[in-house]
Structure 1
């Protein structure tokens, strides 16, 4: 990998956008490296959670590399799972955590919004400034922002190309936690630890049930249909579903296999 780094610590993958000299802006090659890295994480049965972050202390990701686009043209097509190989990865129920250490703008904000949890440095800021350069945020940002915060606040941020600080993002509801910059890694690790202490199958099923349920017309419909969701069916038959009650009865720590 030339433009990203991939690290593993037990069942956790960390993918770092590694172009700090251009605020981790994404070029064509980086899109495909990210697609490959997320594919590997999704396919690895021993990897249970993924942290996405940016190198350096200035930026998580400033979005698309406009200088590279001006020189080489806009990509004819993004990878199979869309921008950064992530924003259309609707079939991966494993949890993604964005550790946002600086600016997350345009496509960078869309990458963060595609994650399940956002932990932000107090220096972080977010925005969809595409209209300022005659573009439109079509990498899911318009749809996700309108679903992850109050609609009027989302429309204000989108239509006025507003920059949103980390604390404001927390109040608006799309940021989970804001910490001093020096504490970002430790705070992210706390979220990771809380996730991986639970059954990986139960975590994946919980994410899938939430996601599928949001597409239902009502809570009543979601609850009626959840037993038929494939992830729910797989959980009922899983070893983890048997191990949890067994470990509780035997007063020991569960031995999760993720299967």
Structure 2
């Protein structure tokens, strides 16, 4: 694991932290590889129920890809976020819920990385931006496709065409983030959201995420008629029996994730 990406596990929560604040947490190829390894580890660990993505330093969550070495790395196409975004590489689907805690500059690929999260908590210092056209660097269009799907039509196009940044308060108004808090409370807020997610049946949570997202771009009648394998598998799981028993016995369920 790259020193610029910290990866730890604490109980049922995995924590992935961009740790290159001196460079606005811009993602290098080595960080990209480390993120890819972290997402796969989270997917493969049955004890992990939720992940938190954050970054060190108050000035920026992430300024996107590090283009300072663009010449010597001309043949290297990063899958920004380690494949989570699908930019420059295969799209990696994170089956576990992801909470992003963002602050300061959340721009370019960093903005797309935040959009990949299921829940986004923002410090009141956060500024979201898609600067490609403004700075004259236009390549992969992943962030644009996500913006058009996650933001109101004209808001997304204004961000794409002008490169102007959207402050945290407006991002919350537009539905891009779930909660805005003072920077000092950002970590605690992300932890609170993660614990809310972890309190649910992990298999049910993962099945719900799969069902909600896998047919997002399909007509409603197709989505309603689809049989979802994770939901089918959950029907015969120990956790389903535990949920029913806990409800009948009026006690908190003890999930096993199996």
What's the TM-score once normalised by structure 2's chain length? 0.93
Residue 235 (structure 2) aligns with: 236
Do structure 1's residue 76 and structure 2's residue 89 form an aligned pair?
no
SS in 2 for 1:214: coil
Give the helix-richer structure, 1 or 2: 1
Q: Indicate the SS of the match to 2:191.
A: helix
- The answer to whether the 8 A contact 1:83-1:139 is kept is no
| Change over 3 Å in CA distance of 1:198–1:173 after alignment to 2 | same
- Report SS of the residue matched to 2:210: helix
Structure-1 residue corresponding to 2:210: 208
Give the match for residue 48 of structure 2.
47
Partner of 1:199: 201
Structure-2 separation of matches of 1:160 and 1:249: 56
Report how far residue 236 of structure 1 moved.
Answer: 1.4
CA contact (8 A) 1:54 1:60 kept: yes
Cα distance between partner residues in 1 of 2:243 and 2:41 = 28
Give ranges in structure 1 of 5+ residues lacking alignment.
Answer: none
Note the alpha carbon deviations across 1:103-138, whole angstroms, 9 max, x for none.
111010010001111100000111110123322262
For residues 166-203 of structure 1, the C-alpha deviation after alignment (integer angstroms, 9 at most, x for no partner) is 01100111111000111111111110111011100111
Q: CA RMSD in A?
A: 1.4
Q: Secondary structure at the match of 1:69?
A: coil
Secondary structure of the structure 2 residue equivalent to 1:66: coil
Runs ≥4 residues deviating over 6 A: none
Aligned partner of 1:17 in structure 2 is 18
Query: Does the alignment pair 1:151 with 2:148?
Result: no
SS at the partner of 2:70?
Answer: helix
Matches within 5 A, 1:130-169: 130-136=132-138, 138=140, 140-169=142-171
**8 Å CA contact 1:110, 1:139 repeated in 2:** no
Matches within 5 A, 1:2-151: 2-70=3-71, 72-78=72-78, 82-85=79-82, 86-88=84-86, 89-136=91-138, 138=140, 140-151=142-153
User: Is the CA contact 1:128–1:158 (under 8 Å) kept in the aligned structure 2?
Assistant: yes
Q: Choose 153-162 or 87-96, whichever is displaced more.
A: 87-96
1:139 CA drift (Å) = 5.7
Quote the Cα distance in structure 2 between the aligned partners of 1:56 and 1:9.
Answer: 22
CA distance 1:208–1:20, change in 2 (3 Å):
same
Q: Deviations over 1:139-182 (max 9, x none)?
A: 62111111111111100111111101001100111111000111
The Cα of 1:54 is off from its aligned counterpart by 0.8
Number of equivalences: 252
**SS in structure 1 of the partner of residue 68 of structure 2:** helix
